[in-house]
Amino acid sequence: MTTDPSAPNNDSQQSNQGQYGASYNAGGYGAPAPAKTNVLAIIALILGIVVPIGGIICGPIALKQIKRTGENGAGLAKAGLIIGIILTLVTIVSWIIVGVMAANAPELATY
């Protein structure tokens, strides 16, 4: 007996099996949702680069929120805090150097 390959297959067991066997139903449970990244940690990183004092302020607040809620982003908050501190120190040292140079060169400062 030959069967027409274009005819629909009424054998339910064969139609439920794919190329690799029966499909597995996980009971409606999907993959767990990925942990959310703390928004303030992202803001701390951005402000740490653009406005360093903002990274210094937002970084510790974000770390406290992350510890309380269990969100992701601790690395971002720490990076914003560290970058903010470094850039603030570089700015302060630069202003001190400019001030010392201006004080030691009075003939240049009078122009």
DSSP H helical ranges for the chain: 12-16, 39-50, 52-69, 74-104, 106-109
pLDDT of residue 104: 84
DSSP lists the bridge partners of residue 21 as: 18
Quote the CA–CA distance of 11 and 78 in Å, as a whole number: 61
Element (H, E) at 18: strand 17-18
What pTM value is reported for the model?
Answer: 0.65
Q: What count of other Cβ atoms lies within 10 Å of the Cβ of residue 75?
A: 11
- CA–CA separation, 100 and 13 (whole Å): 87
* Domain range summary for the chain, segments of one domain joined by +: 35-106
Each residue of 33-72: pLDDT tens digit?
788 999 999 999 999 999 999 999 999 999 999 999 999 9
